[in-house]
């Protein structure tokens, strides 16, 4: 559902972002049938609604950073065919 914007009371926001991020974001937004402008408006409305960033922003500790980097490289990643296999691996 697209919300109509009253252009007489609208403001302009310019954003600088690297080309790769812009391209990747556009692909995701296209799949959601959202324009970049609509997505930014959605984000800003959520900032107002939540009175802050609408998601958790944290600086990961060294262990978390290392674990995330390993995961991105495909190291120490386990895959399971079923939930039962996962539970068995966890000893549950």
Q: Which tens digits make up the pLDDT trace of 53-72?
A: 999 888 889 999 999 999 99
Q: Kindly report whether the global pTM for this prediction surpasses the value 0.85.
A: no
Distances (CA, A) of 84 to 23, 76, 77, 78: 39, 20, 17, 14
Residue 3's pLDDT is 61
Over 70: is that where the pLDDT of 40 sits?
yes
What does the pLDDT look like over 19-37, one tens digit per residue?
A: 999 999 999 999 999 999 9
Report the half-sphere exposure of 24 (CA within 13 A, side-chain side): 5
User: Whole-angstrom Cα distance, residue 72 to residue 18?
Assistant: 21
User: Whole-angstrom Cα distance, residue 39 to residue 55?
Assistant: 15
Segments of the chain assigned to CATH 1.10.1220: 1-57
- Among candidates 66, 67, 43, 64, which has minimal Cα distance to 55? 43
CATH code for the structural domain at 1-57: 1.10.1220
């Amino acid at each position: 559902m697209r919300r109509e914007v009253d252009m007489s009371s609208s403001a302009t926001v310019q954003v600088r972002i690297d080309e790769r991020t812009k391209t990747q974001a556009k692909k995701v937004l296209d799949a959601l049938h959202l324009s970049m402008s609509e997505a930014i408006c959605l984000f800003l409305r959520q900032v107002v609604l939540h009175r802050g960033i609408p998601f958790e922003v944290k600086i990961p500790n060294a262990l978390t950073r290392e674990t995330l980097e390993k995961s991105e490289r495909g190291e120490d990643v386990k895959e399971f065919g079923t939930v039962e296999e996962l539970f068995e691996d966890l000893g549950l």
